[in-house]
Amino acid sequence: MQQAGSTIEARTSDSAPGEIWPFTVTLATPAIGAYVSDIDLRQPLDEPTYLALRRALIRYKVLFFRDQDITPAQHVALGQRFGKLEVHPVIAHHPDHPELVVFDKSDKKRGRENIYHSDVSWREVPSMGSILRCAECPPTGGDTIWVNMALAYENLPAEVKARLEGLIAVHDLMPLFGSMLPPEQRITVRAQNPAVTHPVVRTHPESGEKLLFVNEAFTTHFSNYAEIAGYRFGFDLKLAEMDLLQYLFRQAAAPEYQVRLKWEPHTIAFWDNRATQHYAVQDYYPAVRRMMRATIIGERPV
């Protein structure tokens, strides 16, 4: 499906001259995102289509598919084609498919995903990617924004990049998810999911890009800021650390790095969690918005 004002790449890829892709790609923005058409995700992906989709994902960072009326079982199978799927410890699951989390929002349950984040960055081995399908969309609103975190890092001032060398950040699920749990479950989830550390700047394992890998949902602080920055006074150190972290968080809010999707029923978004952050706009309450997501396990960030 061609979007107004976009550029069609047809069935070729300028990243590999002469390569023919078994689907059509339509750019969403110059910075990030592409619409993929002439593909039926109800069918198992053959090897050439799988490899081409993986290359497209790495290049565009988020892929959008319209009119894909797939079943939950087909959704799981699509995700498993790209790797092992995780089971989320907090968010509700599909009754027949624990690998599918269900975001079921209505006048009885307001959405709360309106914060820039990378899915499950709080895991020791975070996500490679997520596949989200709209089962029931609000008549208006409920868009999702994705951010190119390679561009966010690339455009940082040189002096900021120098300050980030060797910095390690702490990621934790409890500040966001702990409030959703009763006290007894909170203790169990905490024990099973301790806070973890990841480099502030990670290297994409497939593209080699440098990526800014902190997010305001799950990153709590730097684990080695005093070691890197040097110590003067305690208050001076902590304020400087907080200022730097907040500055890095704000990079995701730059429109120049973003793409915004207006959902329609049976639309699917497939994004690279290593290279992006996203934000679900909560402007549709009290309308119904029902989504299902499969999340593919990735690799330890380096």
Q: CA 119, CA 273: separation in Å to the nearest integer?
A: 6
Look at the chain and report how many structural domains it folds into: 2
Rounded CA-CA distance 258/83 in Å is 26
Instruction: Check whether residue 42 and residue 136 sit in a common domain.
Output: yes
Percent of all residues in the chain with a pLDDT value above 90, rounded to a whole number = 83
Low-confidence winner among 1-10, 107-116, 184-193, 285-294 (lowest mean pLDDT): 1-10
Q: What is the pLDDT of residues 229-260, one digit of tens each?
A: 877 777 778 899 999 999 999 999 999 999 99
Does some domain include residue 15? no
CA 167 to chain centre: 22
Q: What pLDDT is recorded for position 98?
A: 97
Does residue 264 sit in the same domain as residue 136? yes
The Cα 70–Cα 81 span in angstroms is 15
Contact assessment for residue 2 and residue 29, using Cβ atoms and an 8 Å cutoff: no
Residue 1 lies in a domain: no
pTM of structure: 0.93
Asked if residue 243 and residue 194 are part of one domain, the reply reads yes
**How much is the pLDDT for 112?**
82
Both tokens assigned to 19 = 């390569």
Lowest mean pLDDT among 50-59, 198-207, 220-229: 220-229
pLDDT over threshold 70, residue 267: yes
Alpha-carbon distance values, 128 to 20, 82, 83 (Å): 25, 9, 9
Residue positions annotated with a catalytic role: 117, 119, 278, 293
Q: Is 2 among the domain residues?
A: no
Contact 286, 105 (CB under 8 A): no
Q: What letter represents residue 185's amino acid?
A: Q
Model confidence at 8, in pLDDT bands (50, 70, 90)? very low
Above pLDDT 70, what percent of the chain?
94
pLDDT value for 6: 42
Radius of gyration over every alpha carbon of the chain, rounded to an integer in angstroms: 19
Can you tell me the distance from the alpha carbon of 252 to that of 258, in angstroms, rounded to the nearest whole number?
Answer: 8
Q: Residue 13 falls within a domain, yes or no? A: no
CA distances, 268 to each of 132, 133, 263, 300 (Å):
6, 4, 9, 26
Question: Which tens digits make up the pLDDT trace of 179-193?
Answer: 888 888 999 999 999
Co-location of 217 and 287 in the same domain = no
Are residue 288 and residue 235 in the same domain, yes or no? Answer: no
Burial 138-165 (b: 16+ CB within 10 A, else e): beeebebbbbbbbbbbeebeeeeeebbe
Q: Are residues 136 and 47 in the same domain?
A: yes
Q: What pLDDT does residue 73 have?
A: 98
In this structure, what CATH number is given to the domain that contains residue 237? 3.60.130.10
- Residue 100 included in any domain: yes
Residue 11 lies in a domain: no
The pLDDT of residue 15 is 43
- At residue 277, the pLDDT reads 98
Cα gap 302→284, rounded to integer Å: 38
Q: 242 in a domain, yes or no?
A: yes
Regarding whether 276 and 243 lie in a shared domain, the answer is no
pLDDT of res. 1: 36
Q: What is the pLDDT of residue 18?
A: 55
Q: Is residue 229 part of a domain?
A: yes
Q: Is residue 64 located within the same domain as residue 171?
A: no
HSE toward the beta carbon, residue 130, CA cutoff 13 A: 24
Per residue in 131-155, pLDDT (tens digit) is: 999 999 999 999 999 999 999 999 9
296 falls in which pLDDT band (50, 70, 90)? very high
Question: How large is the average pLDDT for residues 17-27?
Answer: 83
Mean pLDDT over the full length of the chain:
92
Domain shared by 183 and 110, yes or no = no
What whole-number distance in Å separates Cα of residue 260 and Cα of residue 219?
24
Q: Is the peptide bond before 286 cis (omega within 30 degrees of 0)?
A: yes
Q: Are residues 105 and 173 both part of a single domain? A: no
Token code pair at residue 209: 């890009």
Q: Is the pLDDT of residue 12 over 50?
A: no
Computed from CA positions of residues 252, 264, 104, 64, in that sequence, does the dihedral angle turn out positive or negative?
negative
Is there a single domain that holds both residue 138 and residue 152? no
Supply the pLDDT for residue 10: 47
pLDDT at 3 over 70: no
Q: What is the domain extent for residue 64?
A: 24-142+259-297
pLDDT score at 11: 56
168-171 and 196-199 as β-strands: parallel, antiparallel, unpaired?
antiparallel
pLDDT value at position 7?
Answer: 44
Tell me which of 212 and 1 has the higher pLDDT: 212
Query: Do 138 and 173 reside in the same domain of the chain?
Result: no
